[in-house]
Amino acid sequence: MADVAVTVIGGGVVGLAIAAELAPRYSPFFVLERNARYGQETSSRNSEVIHAGIYYPPGSLKARLCVEGREMLYRLCEANDIPHRRVTKIITATKREEEPELERLHKVGTGNGAKLEFLSAAQVHAMEPHITTVGGLLSPSTGIISAHGVMDFYHHSARLHGAEVQLHCTVVGLERQPDGYLVTIEEGGQRSSFSSEWVINAAGLECDTIAALAGIDVQQAGYRLHYCKGSYFALPGSMNSLVSRLVYPVPTKHSLGVHVVIDLGGRLKFGPDVEYLPDRRLNYEVDPSKRHAFAESVRRILAFVKDEDLTPDMSGIRPKTQAPGDPTRDFIIAHETARGLPGLINLIGMESPALTASPAIAKYVSDLMKTS
Ligand SMILES: Cc1cc2nc3c(=O)[nH]c(=O)nc-3n(C[C@H](O)[C@H](O)[C@H](O)COP(=O)(O)OP(=O)(O)OC[C@H]3O[C@@H](n4cnc5c(N)ncnc54)[C@H](O)[C@@H]3O)c2cc1C
C-alpha cells in the first residue's frame, strides 16, 4: 500500500481547491508547495475577476467550468464571508465598426450561460459617464474577489479535513510504481521520497516539467508551456471614483484587451497586456517604458487619461499551451491512463479563467477520479 492516498503538486488556487474538495474522502493527503507560502505565483498575480464566461469557445472546458465555477464561487463567498463584490462589467464598443463584435460576443456568451444585456450609448453613459462608447454589453454576473481570501478558505477547509500542506517543498522526481508513484521532494537541500496512490499535477508554471518527470513527452503531448506575461499600470487614487465597474474594450484575436480593473479597495488599474517571454525566468518587473503604449490603449476607453497618470503596478505570467500567434487552446485536465500512467492527473495550461473556475475544476477532477 502507498504511504499517501493523494498528493497534489502545487499550492495555488487550483491545487488548494482540489485539496478542499478531495481531503474529506482521501487520507493521508499531501499538498506540496515549493514557496514559503501558498498562492505566491499566478494565483496572487491576476485581475481577481470572477468571469461570467463570455469569451470562451462553446463546449470548451474553459466555457463550461467558468460558468459552473462562477456560480459555485459566489455561493462559497456568500456562505463563508470571502471578500467579493458583484461589481458588474461593461464591454464598450468605441466605434461603429466594433458593434458586430458585440453581437458575436452576445451570441457566444449567452450560449455559454453568461447573462448579457445590450446597452445603448446613452445607457452606458448613465452608468459610466466618463467612458468612450457607441454602445455596449452589460455583464451583471461579473464580479471581483480576493484571491487570497478564497485561497485561505480552500487551505483552511483542506487542513480541517486532514490535508497536510507542506511548504518549501519542491517535487523533483515522479516515478511510476505498481501501486502509484514514488514522489521525490527536496526540502532545505535534502532529498526524500514517499509513495502516493494518486498524484495531481497542479504546478501552474511548472506543470509541463512535472508531466515530463513522469515520463511524458510534453512536446508531443502538446503540454509544453509558453510563458506569457501580463503587466498592469495603476491610476492615482484621486481618479478612482471616475469608473465604478470593470470596463473592457471589445477583444482582439489574442487578448481581452487592456481593460479597467477595480480591486476590492476601489483602486483602478489597467491591464494586463500580452507579452510572450523569451525564457522561463519569473521576471515580474513592470517595464516603465510601456507606459505610453498602455496610455494609448487606455485612451480608447478613457480619453482623458494622460501618460503621466499611469504608474507601473504589478504583473503575472500566464501558463499558455499555445505559442504566439496560435489559436487559443482549452484547459487540459487529463487522467493519464491512456499513457500508461493511471493515478496521475495533469492540469495543463490553467490560465484565465482558472481562478473563477477553481471550484468547478476541483469537482471535475474529483469526478475523473471516481469514474476511472
Ligand atoms: C495577468 C493575469 C490575469 C488573470 N486574471 C484572472 C481573472 O481575473 N480571473 C480568473 O479567473 N483568472 C485569472 N487569471 C488566471 C488565474 O490567475 C490562474 O489561472 C490561476 O491562478 C492558476 O492557478 P494555479 O493554482 O493553476 O497556478 P499557480 O498559482 O501558479 O500555482 C501553482 C503552484 O505550484 C507550485 N509549484 C510549481 N512547481 C512546483 C514543484 N516542482 N514542487 C512544488 N510546487 C511547485 C508553484 O510554486 C505555485 O504556487 C489571470 C492570470 C494572469 C497571469
At 256, is the secondary structure helix, strand, or coil?
Answer: coil
From CA 272, how far away is CA 202, in angstroms rounded? 23
Q: Do domains 4-45+148-224+328-371 and 86-143+225-320 have the same CATH topology?
A: no
Domain ranges across the chain: 4-45+148-224+328-371, 86-143+225-320
Q: What is the Å distance from ligand 1's center to 91 Cα?
A: 25
From CA 47, how far away is CA 316, in angstroms rounded? 9
Which residue's CA is minimally distant from atom 33 of ligand 1?
Answer: 10
pLDDT at 256: 79
Q: What is the Å distance from ligand 1's center to 199 Cα?
A: 18
Where the chain has pLDDT below 70, the residues are 253-254, 372
Q: What is the Å distance from ligand 1's center to 68 Cα?
A: 19
From CA 199, how far away is CA 268, in angstroms rounded? 40
Q: What is the Å distance from ligand 1's center to 22 Cα?
A: 19
Count the neighbouring beta carbons within 10 Å of the beta carbon of residue 335: 19
From CA 85, how far away is CA 198, in angstroms rounded? 36
Q: What CATH code is assigned to 4-45+148-224+328-371?
A: 3.50.50.60
Q: Answer for the pair 264, 85: CB distance below 8 angstroms, yes or no.
A: yes
Q: Answer for the pair 234, 310: CB distance below 8 angstroms, yes or no.
A: yes
pLDDT at 254: 65
Q: Answer for the pair 284, 40: CB distance below 8 angstroms, yes or no.
A: no
Of 21, 41, 313, 348, best ligand 1 pocket probe by most atoms within 8 Å of the beta carbon: 41
pLDDT at 371: 84
Bridge-based pairing of strands 226-234 and 190-201 is: unpaired
251 phi and psi angles, rounded to 5 deg: -70, 160
Which residue's CA is minimally distant from atom 3 of ligand 1?
Answer: 46
Q: What is the Å distance from ligand 1's center to 228 Cα?
A: 12
From CA 150, how far away is CA 83, in angstroms rounded? 8
From CA 89, how far away is CA 82, in angstroms rounded? 20
Q: What is the dihedral of CA 209, 213, 216, 217, to 10 degrees?
A: 60
At 276, is the secondary structure helix, strand, or coil?
Answer: strand
Q: Give me Rg for the CA atoms of the chain.
A: 21
Architecture of the domain defined by 86-143+225-320: 2-Layer Sandwich (3.30)
Which helix (H) or strand (E) segment holds residue 135: the answer is strand 135-139
How many angstroms separate the Cα of 103 from the Cα of each of 98, 110, 290, 328? 9, 11, 32, 20
362 phi and psi angles, rounded to 5 deg: -60, -40
Q: Cβ < 6 Å from ligand 1: which residues?
A: 9-15, 32-35, 40-43, 45-49, 51, 170-171, 202-206, 230, 272, 316-318, 350-356
Which residue's CA is minimally distant from atom 21 of ligand 1?
Answer: 43
From CA 350, how far away is CA 56, in angstroms rounded? 14
From CA 340, how far away is CA 75, in angstroms rounded? 38
Looking at the CA of residue 16, tell me the nearest atom of ligand 1: 25
Q: At what angle do helices 354-371 and 61-80 cross, to 10 degrees?
A: 100
| CA atoms within 13 Å, Cβ hemisphere of 229 | 17
Residues 6+ apart with CB under 8 A from 354: 13, 14, 331, 361
From CA 71, how far away is CA 187, in angstroms rounded? 38
Q: What is the Å distance from ligand 1's center to 201 Cα?
A: 12
C-alpha cell recorded at residue 177: 510504481
Which helix (H) or strand (E) segment holds residue 346: the answer is strand 344-348
Which helix (H) or strand (E) segment holds residue 89: the answer is strand 89-93
